[in-house]
Amino acid sequence: MPVLNDDARRPLDARIERVAALLGALVGVVGVVVLLGWALAVPALMGSMNPVSALVFALAGAALWQVPHGPRRAPVIAGLGGLVGVIGVLKLIGAALHTPMGVDGLLFPARVAALGSGMTLTTAAAFTLLGVVVVLQHGRARGGLPPLLPLLLALLLLSGLPLLGALYGAPPLQSLGEAAPMTALTAALLVLLGTALIASRPERRLMQVLTGAGPGGGLARRLLPFAVLVPLILGALALNAEARGLVSSPLGAGLLVAGTIAGVGGALLRSAFVLHDAHLARRRADTSATEQAREAASVESYTQAIRDVAQLLQADLDPDEVAERTVATLCRVTDVDWGGLVRIEGRHSQAEWAVPTTIWKTGAVTAEAEQVISQGVPRGQGLVWLVIDRPQAQALYVDEYARQAITAPSYVHVGVRSAAYVPLSLHPGQVLMFVAFRLHAPRPWTALDRELFAAAARFVAVALERREHLQYMREAALKDGLTGLGNRRAFDDDLDKELARAQRHGHAVGVLMMDLDGLKAINDTWGHERGDALLLSFARALATTFRRGDRLYRLGGDEYAALLTHAGPEHRDIVLSRVRHAIEIVRTEGFPEADVSAGISFSPAEATRAHDLVRRADARMYDEKRARRAARHARWQSGSDPTI
C-alpha cells in the first residue's frame, strides 16, 4: 500500500486526520469513564469491561489524539502504543503459562476477582495488534511504512465478529470459542479504533482511493455503505421475523440472501451507470482536448510557415525561387501528397498546356502518378483552366475531385481526390499557379489551409510584382524614352560585357556609330514633333535592317549606335550597306532630306578596349560626315545641287 510524498498532501488529509483524532478521543473518554466506574464501584460500568481494558482504550485514544500534531509527537505516540501492545502480549503470555491472575488483575484485583471480569484472549490479541500498528504507523516519520493493512483488517475481524455476535445474539460469534465472550462495548471500541487508525494516515493508498475524486473512490463510497449496512439491516430483520414466527429459518436465510443480492447489485449497477457516464464525459473531454491541441499545433505550425515565407521576401532571392520554397513550406505543414507550380506552355498558340513542375511529393505519389501529373493538361481539360480563365485571380478548393464536372480523367485514375488551385500570377505574359493534390482519400481543405494558402499567395505575388517593378525600373534606366532603344548607359554596359565575352570565346565584335543628318533643320522648320517622328522612323528602320542579335541604341539627340556580335572587318561593307538601306526606308516614310553618317570599328582587329573602339568609330563617322559635306559643297559650286 504505497504512501504519497508529503509534498502531495491534499487539504482534505488534514481534516481526515482530525476526524481520526476525534474518534480516538471518543474511545479514550469511554475508557476513562469505565475506569472511574471501577474506582467508584458503579456496577453498570464495571460490567462493561475489565479495568485494564479500559486503561488500554484510554492509552490508545490518547495516542490517536496526538496524530494531527505531526512527527514531533511520534515518540509520545510510540510510547503509548507500546504500552498497549505490551499489555496484550502479557495477557497472552499469562494465558499460555496458566497464570491464575495475569495482567488483567493489576487494577482493582478484588473487584475483578469478585465479578470474574477477566480480559479475553481475543481482546488481548486485538490489543497486541493495536499496539503494533500504532507503533509502526505513527511511531516514526512518514514514508517507507511496512504493509500494515493486513494487521488492521485482522484487528477489525477480531472485533467485528464479536460485535455482530452481540448484535444478533449469537454467543459463538461473540466468544470465538472462549468461555467468556468479548463485551459489546469492548468490541465496538476496537472497531472504532481500527477505523480511526485507517483514517489517521490519509496519504496511504486505501484512504486515497476512498476519499479520492477518481472513479475508484466514487465506486467505493457508493458500494461500501451498501455492502456493510444492507446485510446488517436485513440480518436483523430476518432474525426478528424468525423470532416472531413470521418466517422459518430457511425462508429467512433466503430472504436475507435475496435482499443482499438486490441491495448490493442495485448499488453496483448504479455505480456502473455513474462510471459509464463519467467515462463518456471524459472521452468527450479527451476528444475535445485532443482536437484543441491538434488545432493549436496546426495554428502554430501554420504561423511558423507564414513567418518562413515572409523571411523569403527579405532574402535576396529570385521570385521563382521564392515561389518554389513557398510551395515546399506549404506542403510540409498542410498534409499535401503532391505540390508544384503550374506554368503555361505554348501560350497564344493552338495547343496551350498547363504544365506542373513537381516541388513536393510524399511516398503516396507513385511514379505513374507523378508522370501523369507532370504531363499537364491541355486547354479545356481540368479545373486548372477554369481558374486561369477567370476574370479575377481567385483560388479554387475541391474536396471531392472525382465528382466535379470538369476534371482530368488521368488525374482521377492515379488517385487525385482533393485539389487546391491558388493563382500566384495570371498576367498575360506570366501565368504562375500553386497546385496541391491529396491522393487516394478525400481530405477536405480546412479554413486554416485556405488562410495559409491565401497569405502565402499574397507574399509570392508581392515578390513577383517587385520583380516586375524592378525590371521596369531597370529597363527605364537603360532605355531611350522616345524610341525604346537602349540608351548610352545600356550601350556602355553592354559593350563592356560583350568585349569580355568575346575575349573569353575568341570572337569578333563590331561597334557602329551613326549620326542622323537633317534633324536640326526639321526641328527648326517643322517643329520637334516632326523631328521626333524622324527619330522614331530611323529607329524602326534600323530594327528592320539589322540582325536580330545586333543591339541598337540611341545615345542622345541624333546619335545612334549598334553593337554587332560576331562581326569583323570583312563585314564592314555589309554593315554600312544596312545603314544606307535603313536611311532609304526613312526617306520613303516622308523624310526625303534625311541622311546619316556612320563609322565602324572592330575588336580585336583594331582595338580591344571599349574607349578605343568608340573613339575610332566616331572618328570614321565624322570623316564620312566631312566628306559628304565637302562633296555636297562641290556640287553646289558646280550648280548641280542647289539645296545646300
DSSP 220-268: HHHHHHHHHHHHHHHHHHHHHHHHTTSS-HHHHHHHHHHHHHHHHHHHH
Helix (H) or strand (E) holding 88: helix 74-96
Q: In the CATH hierarchy, which top-level class contains the domain 479-637?
A: alpha beta
Quote the pLDDT of residue 430: 66
> For residue 2, what pLDDT is reported?
47
Residue 451, beta-bridge partner list: none
**3-class secondary-structure state, position 10:** coil
From residue 263, how far is each of 222, 228, 302 by CA, in Å?
A: 12, 11, 58
CA distances from 620 to 389, 623, 628 (A): 56, 5, 12
Q: What is residue 5's predicted lDDT score, i.e. its pLDDT? A: 44
Contact between residue 242 and residue 256 where contact means Cβ atoms under 8 Å apart: no
The torsion angles phi and psi of 592, rounded to 5 degrees, stand at -65, -25
Beta partners for residue 560, in sequence order: 514, 554
Question: Which SS3 state, helix, strand or coil, does residue 360 take?
Answer: strand
CB count within 10 Å of CB 225 equals 11
What is the pLDDT, as a whole number, of residue 306?
75
CA 208 to CA 224: how far, in whole Å?
Answer: 15
604 upstream amide cis, omega within 30 of 0: yes
According to the model, what pLDDT value does residue 512 have?
95
**Fold observed for domain 319-471:** Beta-Lactamase (3.30.450)
Averaged pLDDT in 10-residue chunks for the chain of 644 residues: 48 84 92 93 88 92 86 84 90 81 82 83 89 80 62 84 77 67 88 88 76 70 70 68 62 53 59 63 71 69 76 71 83 88 67 83 91 84 81 84 84 90 73 87 87 82 68 73 89 92 91 90 85 92 92 92 93 94 92 91 92 94 87 67 50
Nearest to 617 by CA among 630, 606, 628: 606
CB of 87 closer than 8 Å to CB of 52: yes
Q: Which residues contact 212 (CB under 8 A, 6 or more apart)?
A: none
pLDDT on residue 122: 87
Spatial separation of the C-alpha atoms in residues 211 and 213, rounded to whole Å: 7
* Residue boundaries of the structural domains of the chain: 6-212, 319-471, 479-637
The C-alpha cell that represents 392 in the structure block: 479575377
How distant, in Å, are the alpha carbons of 594, 621, 628 from that of 634? Answer: 19, 20, 10
Task: Compute how many other C-beta atoms are within 10 angstroms of the C-beta atom of residue 367.
Answer: 7
Same fold, 319-471 and 479-637: no
